[in-house]
Amino acid sequence: MKLTGYEHQVQYYETDQMGCVHHSNYIRWFEEARTAYLDRLDMGYARMEREGIMSPVLQVQAEYKSMTRYGEKVSIEMEIVKYNGIRLTLAYRIKDFATGQLRCTGTSSHCFLDREGRIVSLKKEKPQWDKKLRTQMEEM
C-alpha cells in the first residue's frame, strides 16, 4: 500500500520572511505522512511505544524542487524502499495538491529499539508487524 493522498494545508507559521515554506517543515511533513501510514497499518508510534518499541530517525534527506507558499495545500506520497526487519527506509514525494507540481522529494531511515536502546528485530519480536512491512514493500 503506497500512501497516496495524505494532505497538508500550509500554515502561516510554516513560512519564512520570503513568504515560502521554511525548509525544515518538509521534514515535519514527512513525519506526518509516516505517522499516518503506520497508523493505517495498525502499528503507529503510540502502539509501538505501548508495546516497548521505539523507532528513531537515523537519517533524513530532502531535495527541494519548487517553493510552497502559505495557503497552498500539498499532497504527500510515501513508500517503503528498503526494509530488513531491523531498518526501514521510506521515500517521500510532496506535490502541490492543485497542480501536481513536485515540491520536494526525500527519504528517511529508521531502526527499531527496545526501551533500553537495544536493537530489535521485528521479525523475531513482532512477526505480525514484520509481515505487514514486508507485504507493503512487495506491493509497492
Catalytic residue list: 16
End-to-end CA distance of the chain: 6
Angle at 56 (CA atoms; ends 61, 97), nearest 5 degrees: 45
User: Are residues 106 and 78 in contact, defined by beta-carbon separation less than 8 angstroms?
Assistant: no
CB atoms within 10 A of CB 120: 20
* Residue 24 buriedness (CB in 10 A; 0-12 / 13-18 / 19+): exposed
